[in-house]
């Protein structure tokens, strides 16, 4: 890997606390493989054999779950540095839990599962750091999924949007914030239709609850949104 790729990889949460020099040296032990995908290529199929976690190096990818009836729900949107497959690393389950699809030309690094959870043959100091980071990532992902369940349990469109906007306001620490995903991705995340969501956002703006431009949202009436999110 060249220096630019190493620096990009160092920014991944899995390698938090490790210098680029250490990340480069780790490649000998981890034996990673890099694959390239075009837009709409399937990176991983739900149910297929799982033997490596993936790290998105470049591009963008969507993690989706599909019901028996064929309905899709977006579970996560991956951007450079994002991991997928980490939920089952320490599980006895040996299959991918969800399908991952490239949203644009992407580059992915796969690290063998055995290299993450097995005993390091060289007794490298960084192996303990990797395990700690992995456990933290899994914990944060579990919290995110719990939050998604909360959104899905809210019946009304306005209630879902209000809860989501209040959560983003809390993270940003300000009434004005940028959405962490595109509008169509947000609709998929909340499991609602994009046109209906856009109409509801327009009504919320007309009623003086919020204002927005492109991916930037400003909450005007905080109390009204709190009432709707319950």
CATH code of the domain containing 88: 2.60.120.10
Are 113 and 129 part of one and the same domain?
A: yes
Are 128 and 194 part of one and the same domain?
A: no
Are 77 and 59 part of one and the same domain?
A: yes
Over the stretch 86-120, which tens digit does the pLDDT of each residue have? 888 888 878 888 999 999 999 999 999 888 876 66
Are 32 and 128 part of one and the same domain?
A: yes
pLDDT band at residue 204 using 50, 70 and 90 as cut-offs: very high
| Helical spans, DSSP H, in 89-156 | 113-117, 126-153
pLDDT of residue 28: 83
DSSP letter for 119, please: P
Q: Is the pLDDT of residue 207 over 90?
A: yes
Task: Give the C-alpha separation, 87 to 17, whole Å.
Answer: 21
Q: Is the pLDDT of residue 228 over 80?
A: no
Task: Give the C-alpha separation, 94 to 208, whole Å.
Answer: 50
Show the 3-state SS of 32-86. Answer: CEEEEECCCCEEECCCCECCEEEEEEECCEEEEEECCCCCEEEEEEECCCCEECH
The answer to whether the beta carbons of residues 66 and 90 sit under 8 Å apart is no
Rounded mean pLDDT, 172-183: 91
Token pair recorded at residue 27: 């490649």
Are 187 and 108 part of one and the same domain?
A: no
Total domains present in the chain: 2
pLDDT of residue 122: 60
pLDDT band at residue 181 using 50, 70 and 90 as cut-offs: confident
pTM reported for the whole predicted model: 0.72
Are 124 and 220 part of one and the same domain?
A: no
Are 89 and 184 part of one and the same domain?
A: no
Provide the 3-class DSSP secondary structure of residue 176: strand
Q: Is the pLDDT of residue 26 over 70?
A: yes
Token pair recorded at residue 132: 């700690």
Residue whose entry in the numeric block shows the structure tokens 């599909």: 66
Token pair recorded at residue 208: 């003086």
% pLDDT > 90, the chain: 43
pLDDT of residue 120: 61
Nearest to 54 by CA among 79, 85, 23: 85
Q: What CATH number is associated with residue 222?
A: 1.10.10.10
Instruction: Write down which residue in 133, 148, 163 finishes a domain.
Output: 148
Instruction: Write down which residue in 104, 122, 148 finishes a domain.
Output: 148
Are 69 and 43 part of one and the same domain?
A: yes
Q: Torsion angle of alpha carbons 153, 159, 162, 165, nearest 10°? A: 30
Are 35 and 143 part of one and the same domain?
A: yes
Rounded mean pLDDT, 206-230: 90
Domain residues for the domain of 172 are 154-229
Are 130 and 16 part of one and the same domain?
A: yes
Instruction: Write down which residue in 91, 114, 148 finishes a domain.
Output: 148
pLDDT of residue 103: 93
Are 86 and 168 part of one and the same domain?
A: no
Q: For the chain, how long is the longest CA-to-CA vector?
A: 63
pLDDT band at residue 4 using 50, 70 and 90 as cut-offs: confident
Are 44 and 144 part of one and the same domain?
A: yes
Q: Is the pLDDT of residue 41 over 90?
A: yes
């Amino acid at each position: 890997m060249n220096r630019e790729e190493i620096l990009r990889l160092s920014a991944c949460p899995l390698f938090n606390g490790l210098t680029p020099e250490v990340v480069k040296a780790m490649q000998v032990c981890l034996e990673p493989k890099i694959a390239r995908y075009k837009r709409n290529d399937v990176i991983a199929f739900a149910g297929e054999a799982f033997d490596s976690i993936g790290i998105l190096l470049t591009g963008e990818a969507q993690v989706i779950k599909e019901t028996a009836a064929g309905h899709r729900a977006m579970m996560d949107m991956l951007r450079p540095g994002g991991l997928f497959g980490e939920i089952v690393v320490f599980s006895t389950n040996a299959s991918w839990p969800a399908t991952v699809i490239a949203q644009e030309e992407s580059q992915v690094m796969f690290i063998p599962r055995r290299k993450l959870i097995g005993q390091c043959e060289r007794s490298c100091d960084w192996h303990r750091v990797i395990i700690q980071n992995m456990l933290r990532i899994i914990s944060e992902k579990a919290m995110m999924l719990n939050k998604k369940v909360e959104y899905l349990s809210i019946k009304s469109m306005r209630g879902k949007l209000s809860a989501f906007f209040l959560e983003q306001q809390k993270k940003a620490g300000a009434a004005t914030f940028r959405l962490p995903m595109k509008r169509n991705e947000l609709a998929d995340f909340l499991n609602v239709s994009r046109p209906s969501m856009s109409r509801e956002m327009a009504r919320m703006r007309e009623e003086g609850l919020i204002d927005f431009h492109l991916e930037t949202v400003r909450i005007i009436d905080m109390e009204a949104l709190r009432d709707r999110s319950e």
